Amino acid sequence: MMSRRLCRFVGIVVVAVAVGWVAGEAVAAPYSALVMEVESDRVLYERNADEIRHPASLTKMMTLYLVFEALVQGRISLYDTFYASSYAASRSPSRIGLRPGDPLTVEEGILALVTCSANDAAATLGEGLAGSEPAFAAMMTRKARELGMSQTVFRNASGLPDPEQVTTARDMYRLGKALLKHFPQYYPYFSTSRFQYRGRSFHNHNHLLENYYGADGIKTGFVNASGFNLVASARRNGVRLVGVVFGGNSSFRRDAHMRDILDDGFAQIEGRESSVRFAGFDQGYVPRLLIRPGESRVSAVPKKARRAAAGKTNGHRARVVAARPSPGTQKGMSTHAKRKPVEAKPLPARLRSSRTSVKFRR
C-alpha cells in the first residue's frame, strides 16, 4: 500500500517538473531591479537594488571589461591567440565547444561571450590574461572595488554557480555604465546578433536587441540561484538608460519586465509621472497576453496579489497592474519606442560590417 502511494507521489512530482520545463519557467529567485539615466545617475525605477544577488553570466561583463582594458593598454591585441586548457574546455554549457589545446583569438572570445555567453571561452580569456581563473577572479574583484562596486565578489570568469560570487543590481548598473563610458570603441560588440565559429552559428541571447527600439546591449544571465537576469541599455533622443533585472522565472517574463520599466523610465524623462509596475515573477503581475481567453483580468491574478491590492505587502503599498498594449504596437515592441525615432550611433569602420553578423573561417 505504501509503495503504491509512494509511486503515485513520485509520478506527480515528475509530471510537475516536466510541466515546468515545458513551460520554460523556473521557480523565481529573489527579485531586484533598477533603471537609471546614465548621464545624471537619476534613479527612474528601483526595487531591492542593494540586496545581494548572484550575477550568473552577468559576470562576463567584468571579464569583458578587463579584456577591453588590456586592449586599450596595448597588453594584447584582438588577433592574439590563447589556447584552451583542459580546465577551460571542461566548463559546462553554454559553450562553443573548445577542446584542450584549441586556439581562440581575443576577438573570437569577445564575440563568444557577448552572443552565446560561452563559459569555455570566458575561462580561456581569464587564464590567458592572468595565468589561472582564480587569479583572474581576484583581478575582477579588485577592479570591481575601483569602479565602486562595493558589494560584488567574483570567483570565476564565467558566472557558473559559486555561493561566494555575489553582486547587487546597483553594482551591475555601475559596471554597465563603466563599459559604456570607458570603452565606447568596443561597446558595439554587445549588439552583435550572431557569429560563426568552426561552422556553427551562435546567436545573441539578448532578445531586446530584436524587439525593443533603441536597445544596443548588454548581457543576459541565468543560474538556478539567481533566476533569469539581464542588464540592458537603450538610447532614445540622446538619452541613455541602463536597466537591471534579477530573479526572473523565465527569459520571456524577464524581458517583458525590462521593456516595461525602461518604457516607464523614458516616460519619466519626457515629464510624465511614474506608474507602479510589478514583475510577473514578483507580485502577481499578469501581462495581458498571458490571460486565457474568457478569463477576466482580475481572476487571472493570484488571490494573494488581489488581497495585496487592498492592503500592504512587505511595507509597500501594492497595486495590481495589467499590461495594456496600445493601438499600433507591433510584434511585442514598446509603444513608446514606436513613437520615437532611434538615434543610431555610428560604428567604427572595422565593426560596421559585423554589427549583425560576424563570421570566422578556419
Query: CB-based contacts of 162: which residues, under 8 Å, 6+ apart?
Result: 155, 156
Strand-pair partners of 200: 197
- Among 60, 143, 191, 233, which one carries the catalytic annotation? 60
Q: Is residue 303 part of a domain?
A: no
Active-site residue, 60 included: yes
Number of domains comprising the chain: 1
Query: In percent, how much of the chain has pLDDT > 70?
Result: 70
Query: Quick check: is 248 in a domain?
Result: yes
Catalytic site residue 117? yes
Asked whether the beta carbons of 143 and 175 are under 8 A apart, the reply is no
Residue 155: the pLDDT is 98
Q: Write down the pTM of the prediction.
A: 0.74
Residue 17 in this model has a pLDDT that exceeds 60 = no
Give the span between the Cα atoms of 215 and 193, in whole angstroms: 12
* Reported confidence tier of residue 27, pLDDT bands at 50, 70, 90: low
Is 9 inside a domain boundary?
no
- Domain range for 228 is 28-285+321-353
In a domain, 299, yes or no: no
219 is known to lie in a ligand binding site: yes
Residue 3 forms part of a structural domain: no
Residue 95 has pLDDT above 90, yes or no: yes
Which of 62, 250, 275, 52 has its CA nearest to residue 170? 52
Catalytic position from the list 32, 94, 117, 354: 117
Q: 51: domain CATH number?
A: 3.40.710.10
Above 80 in pLDDT, residue 176? yes
Beta carbons of 362 and 200 less than 8 angstroms apart:
no
Residue 46 has a pLDDT of 95
d(CA 172, CA 342): 25
Q: Is residue 22 part of a domain?
A: no
Residue 20 resides in a domain: no
Task: Give the pLDDT score at 173.
Answer: 98
Whose CA is closest to 116, among 25, 221, 24?
Answer: 221
Residue with cell 546597483: 170
Report the percent of the chain where pLDDT is more than 90.
Answer: 67
Catalytic residue list contains 57: yes
Domain assignment present for residue 42? The answer is yes
Of 133 and 26, more confident: 133
